Amino acid sequence: MAPGALAGVRVVEMGLWVAGPAAGGILADWGAEVIKVEMPGGDPMRSLFAALSGSKESRCPPFELYNRGKKSLTLDINQAQGRELMLRLLSTADVFVTNMRPQFLARVGLDPDSLRSRYDRLIYASLTAYGLQGPDSDAPGYDMAAFSGRSGLAERATPAGGQPPILPGGLGDNVSALSLVSGICAALFHRERSGQGQLVATSLLRTGIYSIGMDVSSRIGLGRAASPPPRTKPQNPLMNLYCAGDGKWFWLVGAQSERHWPAIASALGLTALMDDERFKTPRDRRRNAPALVAELDAALAQRSRAEWAEIFRAQDVWWAPVQSIDEVIVDPQAIAAGAFVHVPDAAEPAAASGADAPANGVATPVDFSATPAGPAGAPPGIGADTDTIVSALGYSPADLQKLREDKVLS
C-alpha cells in the first residue's frame, strides 16, 4: 500500500478526552506517526462510560475512533526525569499536539514559549477551551460549555420561549479538531518553504463562534441578527422541517423560493395555492408563513416519508430525511460516500452496517485520490509502545528499569 499523505511526519500528542486526541487521530489516519503520551493510568477517555455514569462497560468506541493507529507511551511528566524524556522525544517530532490547560503546560515546561525556543522547526499545535490569552484562558471547558454555551451557538438554536438544546457529545471537539488539523497542515507547508515551525492555536470558543459566523457577522456588520424562528413561522416555508404521516421528519430545502415553489406545489397536489394571493411571491409566502406551513403540514401528513421520497424524486423536489443513527449506519449513500471503515484488529461491529465488508468504525471525513487515508490499526493499550519509543531515544535497558522503579514510566 502507498504511504499516506502525512507519511514521515512524527506527531507527539499529549491530550485528554476528545479534542486533542481527535486531531491526533485524523493525522494518524492520514499517515502520520502519532505517539500518544499518557500519564500513568492513561487517558480518562479510555473509561468514559464509567466516568460519566458509573457504567461497568469496559469498551469505549469513541476512544477507539480518536486513538486508532497511534502508539502509546506512559510517562509521569510531573517528575524531572519524565520532563527530560519528553523533551528528548520532542526533539524528534515535527508536531506537538496538546489540549492540556495552559497553566499545567507552563508548570512542566511544555508551554509554547519554552518549546518554540528550543525547537525552531517544531509545529506547536494548541487546542484549548477559551484560548491562550485572556482572563479565562485557563478555565476548564468541555465542548458543551465553551463551544456550545459561551459561543452563542446554543442560544442561537433556541426557539423563543424554549430551552437551549443539548448538542451531541463531542460535536464541538470534532469541529475544533478539524480546525486544528487544517492549521497544522498549513504550518507544515509553511515550514517546507521557510524551514521554520510556529505556534498553531485554536479553541472550542473560537470554533463555536465561527460555526455560527453567519449570525455573528450579521450582528457585527448590520447591527442585528435574526432570532431563531419557530418551525411554524419560518422566513421561507419551503426550507423548513416537516413531518410525514408515519411520524418521520424531513427537511424541504427549497432555498430559492421562486424556483422551487412550482415543483413542491405540484408534488403535494397543492397547485391551486400557486394562484392564492397569500402565496404568490416569496415575500407573500414569508408574510403568510404560518398559513402556508399549515397547508403543507396537512398535505404531508397524508403519506409516509418513504412514499414522499418517491414522489419528490419524480418531481425533482429538493429534500433530505432527518435520520436516526440506526438509519444512518445502513444508509446506502453514507456507505458509498465512505463514512464507515474497517479498523484492522479492532472489535467487530455489534450490528452489520450493510456494507460488503462489515465496517467497525467511523471514517475521518476527507479522502485523497493519490494517497490512502484510513486507520492503520486499533488504538494502543496503555503504554504498549513505551519500551520501543524510549529505547529509540537512546535509553538503555538499565535506564528503562530505573525509570520504572522511579515510577517515571509505567
Q: Which residues are catalytic?
A: 173
Cα 71 → chain centroid = 21
Put the strands of the sheet holding 319-321 in their side by side order.
239-243, 249-253, 319-321
* Alpha-carbon gap, residue 243 to 261, rounded angstroms: 18
Residue 297 Cα to chain centre, angstroms: 34
DSSP state at residue 75 = B
Q: How far apart are CA 325 and CA 332, in angstroms?
A: 13
> What are 28's three cell numbers?
494518524
Q: Which segments within 233-347 are labelled E, that is strand?
A: 239-243, 249-253, 319-321, 340-341
Q: Which residues contact 275 (CB under 8 A, 6 or more apart)?
A: none
For helices 213-222 and 204-211, angle between their N-to-C axes, nearest 10 degrees: 70
Give the DSSP H/E element, type plus range, for residue 202.
strand 199-203
Question: How crowded is residue 404: how many other Cβ atoms within 10 Å of its Cβ?
Answer: 13
Rounded to the nearest angstrom, the gap between the alpha carbon of residue 261 and the centroid of all alpha carbons in its chain is: 35
Measured from the Cβ of residue 280, the count of other Cβ atoms closer than 10 Å reads 14
Buried b (16+ CB within 10 A) or exposed e, 40-57: bebbebbbbbeeeeeeee
d(Cα 42, Cα 45) in Å, to the nearest integer? 8
Beta sheet of 123-128, edge-to-edge order: 71-74, 33-38, 10-14, 95-98, 123-128, 199-203
* 254: nearest Cα among 332, 194, 315: 315
Mapped onto helix, strand or coil, the DSSP state of residue 130 is: coil
Distance CA 175, CA 183 (A): 13
